[in-house]
Chains A and B, each alone.
Chain A
Amino acid sequence: VNGWKRAGRGGRRRLVATLDAQEAAVLRGLVDEVRRMLDARSAEQPRDELAEITGLDTGPSTRPDDPVLARLLPDFATDDADLSGALRSLHEPELIAAKEAAAAVVLETLPGAGGRIELTPDQADAWLAALNDVRLALGTALDVNEDMPDELPPDDPRAGHLGVYHWLTYVQDGLVQSRMALL
């Protein structure tokens, strides 16, 4: 990425960047992986007859065991387990749907072999949400914390992935700055 630039005006405003083939492949793979994890979470909760009739999906009431999924779908209340479970049951399906919709926008607008990406403001918002989810997932898997150094020792198995994480941070931050300027 050479940074995000603004192009066009009025209803034709776009945010533009270029990804090379490898960057596009890495991003596609990570966004797809997050989407698969969310899909699997949804599949754990079969739709019952009532949901088919009412169209109202209810989700599970307990937090995912997997730490990455738990980071993507955190507790809804910290001091009241019953409330948290009830809110999760009500809202987790729509939360997953929103995350999957954002991931789908990235996968649709990302050229297969890399190249120029042109996003409307709404598409940029979806990118920001999906990039944030990917960074949350990777950050949890790498145990990123406040004291994390910029680079890990080369013999640390997380070193390569941390580089990807920092690159995603750079992509997301650049997009936030450009998107903010359109507010």
Chain B
Amino acid sequence: MTAAPPPLPTVDPVIVPSPTEDVTGDVPWQAIVWNDPVNLMSYVTYVLQKLFGYPEPQATALRRRSRAMSRSCTPPASGPPCRRPDA
């Protein structure tokens, strides 16, 4: 017969919420769309839809912005992170 093992020391866990936790989306990259005389407007819109999952109106708006301002940036720094297309 063996002696019962001594009770193990225990510690009550205390969870301290971290007030400095960064909960902003992780956006490790941005795609820059340059205005360009060869790339078709329709193709740029399609690629923005397919690659980043933007709905057509948003893809068209980004494409228009690249034309008006020579370039546009996606995703917008303050906007929602891009989602991957479903398939």
Contacts and interface: CB of A to CB of B under 8 A. Distances in A.
Interface of A: 125, 128, 132, 135-136, 139-140, 144-146, 148, 169, 172-173, 176-177, 179-180, 183
B51 to A, nearest CB: 11
Interface stretch (B1-9, B13-21, B35-43, B75-83): B35-43
Q: Could you tell me the dominant secondary structure of chain B's interface residues?
A: helix
Nearest to A77: B32
Interface of B: 37-40, 42-43, 45-46, 49-50, 56
A80 B40 CA distance: 28
Contacts, number: 39
A128 B39 CA distance: 11
B43 A144 contact: no
B37 A145 contact: yes
A173 B37 CA distance: 14
B38 A172 contact: no
A173 B46 CA distance: 11
Contacts of B49: 180, 183
A34 B73 CA distance: 29
B66 to A, nearest CB: 14
B38 A135 contact: yes
B38 A144 contact: yes
B46 A128 contact: yes
